[in-house]
Structure 1
Amino acid sequence: MKHVSHPMSPLEWAMLFGLSLVWGGSFFFVAIAVTELPPMTIALARVGGAALILLLVLRFLGIKMPRSKTVWLAFLGMGLINNVIPFSLIFWAQTELASGVASILNAMTPIFTVIAAHFLTQDEQMSRGRIAGVVLGFTGVFILMGGGVGMEGKLLPHLAILGAGISYAFASIFGKRFARLGVPPLATATGQVCASTMILVPVVMTLDQPWLLPLPSAHVVWALTGLTVLSTAFAYFLYFRILSTAGATNLALVTFIIPPSAILLGVMVLGEVLSWNQIAGLAVIGAGLAAIDGRIFGLWRR
């Protein structure tokens, strides 16, 4: 796995923008699906469908899934904090929030990751740039939420998205163990969505009882298909392809592009409108991400 940054080729840039579009599109697809389906049922459809697709891909590529009990316990942990918890929180929050706002708040994930890594790892301590990024990130959230004014009924959905970002942050640190366990990246992706499916099946059957729900309309079925095939299975393919050719540092640039992709889809297709404070919050959070990334400020100093 590469960690050194180098100039990306046009193909790598195209894949990066493609990844931002399909990940940003997940907020768009969910905004459609939650109009007719419960959030946890949507989460199960996403991970269950992606698990089937990725298992077929592994079989085609001749990659075998590990059978070690230790690895599968790690899959269960990863599935819980990287899929089950954040998906459930985000999908529930999107019953109240616009998809663009959800994507902006979700952009706090790298900032939460920096904080978690500082306290939980030995080799990723805070630098001045990262501290500045954290401060800017939380300032951006405060601006986006209007300082808490007029948040009646909206505070919990905002906090749910932030909670999902915290869960993702712990998952990014927890996920490092799979390399030490010798699990191929695509098998890790497959294992965690399989484990997520196993966790969600009994929960959804007990709480949502999907067999009692009305049949979803055609546009909701298409949204679920896009969420599963494009925003999960295909996104994992692009993610690991970029990671292997361009490296983790360049891959991190996708964080900057996901909110604009989600906002563009929400405004053009769903007719969403962002307020001035939400746009300003996005700009400040973006500045925080740039401070953490360091490259833009490094170019400016040079």
Structure 2
Amino acid sequence: MIISGLSLYAGAAVAVGLFDVLPPLIVAWFRISAAALILLAVLRPSPRSFIGRSGAQAAVYGIATMGMNMSFYEAIARLPLGTVVALEFLGPVVVAALGSRSIRDWVALGLAAAGVLVISGAVWSTSASGLFFALLAGGLWAVYILIGTRIVGGVGKPMESMTVGFSIAAVVALPAIWLLWPTSVDLPAPQLFGLAMGLGVLSALIPYSLDQVVMRMAGSSYFALLQALLPVTAALLGAVVLGQWLTGPELLGIVLVVAAVGLRRPSSA
């Protein structure tokens, strides 16, 4: 999970640098599309995997992942990386609530929710739109966890489903990307392609592949609370790489979210 977070948010730090050249939505599309191209080349799924129930489930997974990425990138274009990651944890909190079994679980969820509320109050005056996109990313994150857990728990091939889902999402979003594409891009095409491939590997291929392994081992409820480790990873990378030092309330919110992890035990998953 920590390796997944480091890869994911290292890629996000790279993406922030691209926001001066391309809109966040296009950068997010590059992230998923590049991963889809790599997966298609390696796995070569059969055409049958794109149709039927498994194809539809993979499409929902892919579109939710694409939407989560687009919302996340719009949010980090407006707010610090660590703050956004903590805010979007509201999605995993809801998923964990669906699978809760004890008072300990509810206390953990309450701490996480309190952390999200503290951070929300701290950033409302800074960027209401950033807050909206972060919470939207959290909602789509919940869908990602629920559908992803079904996929890895099914009889199909999870990596093939991820390939199909990412490919469908990339094609579905293509018309919007065409309309949003700027008239000029101050970056040579080979360099842009290389950065897109790097984003695909760092921010999608590695973390989402590792997520599927953890989902299979832990289940959706415990996986959701394991994700609470990510705000710390994101806050550290944001500070070190991007110079985004957080305020006292933002740090308090992150501490509350991480405290929720300490109350959650693997045996209760």
The equivalent residue for 1:134 is 109
Q: Distance in 2 between matches of 1:265 and 1:178?
A: 31
Confirm or deny that 1:151 pairs with 2:151. Answer: no
1:49–1:288 CA distance, 2 compared to 1 (3 A): same
Where do 1:93-132 residues align within 5 Å? Answer: 93-115=75-97, 118=98, 124-132=99-107
Q: Distance in 2 between matches of 1:239 and 1:111?
A: 17
Larger Rg: 1 or 2? Answer: 1
SS class of match (1:226): helix
Where do 1:196-235 residues align within 5 Å? Answer: 196-206=169-179, 208-210=180-182, 212-216=183-187, 224-235=196-207
Q: TM-score, normalised by structure 1?
A: 0.76
Which residue identity lines up with residue 79 of structure 1 in the other structure? Answer: G
Which residue identity lines up with residue 187 of structure 2 in the other structure? Answer: P
1:266–1:248 CA distance, 2 compared to 1 (3 A): same
- Per-residue deviation, residues 116-156 of structure 1 (Å, max 9, x unmatched): xx3xxxxx3553222212221221122223x35x7335122
Residue 165 of structure 1 is aligned with which of 132, 138, 146? 138
Q: Distance in 2 between matches of 1:271 and 1:191?
A: 37
Q: TM-score, normalised by structure 2?
A: 0.84
Q: Is the 8 A contact 2:63 2:166 kept in 1?
A: no
Question: Structure 1 or 2: larger helix share?
Answer: 2
1:254–1:231 CA distance, 2 compared to 1 (3 A): farther
The equivalent residue for 2:41 is 56
Where do 1:34-73 residues align within 5 Å? Answer: 34-59=19-44, 64=46, 66-73=49-56
SS class of match (1:215): coil
1:180–1:261 CA distance, 2 compared to 1 (3 A): closer
1:51, distance to aligned residue in structure 2 (A): 0.4
Q: Which moved more, 1:68-77 or 1:274-283?
A: 68-77
Which residue identity lines up with residue 60 of structure 2 in the other structure? Answer: G
The equivalent residue for 1:17 is 2
Which residue identity lines up with residue 139 of structure 1 in the other structure? Answer: A
Q: Is the 8 A contact 1:93 1:158 kept in 2?
A: yes
Q: Distance in 2 between matches of 1:259 and 1:48?
A: 25
1:38–1:239 CA distance, 2 compared to 1 (3 A): same
1:282–1:32 CA distance, 2 compared to 1 (3 A): same
Q: Distance in 2 between matches of 1:239 and 1:183?
A: 17
Q: Distance in 1 between matches of 2:143 and 2:170?
A: 20
Q: Is the 8 A contact 1:28 1:262 kept in 2?
A: no
The equivalent residue for 1:78 is 61
Identity across matched positions, percent: 22
Confirm or deny that 1:90 pairs with 2:72. Answer: yes
Q: Which moved more, 1:267-276 or 1:20-29?
A: 20-29
What RMSD, in angstroms, separates the aligned Cα atoms of the two structures? 2.9
Q: Distance in 1 between matches of 2:209 and 2:66?
A: 20
Q: Which moved more, 1:233-242 or 1:40-49?
A: 233-242
1:188, distance to aligned residue in structure 2 (A): 1.4
Which residue identity lines up with residue 129 of structure 1 in the other structure? Answer: R
- Per-residue deviation, residues 25-47 of structure 1 (Å, max 9, x unmatched): 23322322223211221121111
1:278–1:165 CA distance, 2 compared to 1 (3 A): same
Q: Distance in 1 between matches of 2:198 and 2:226?
A: 19
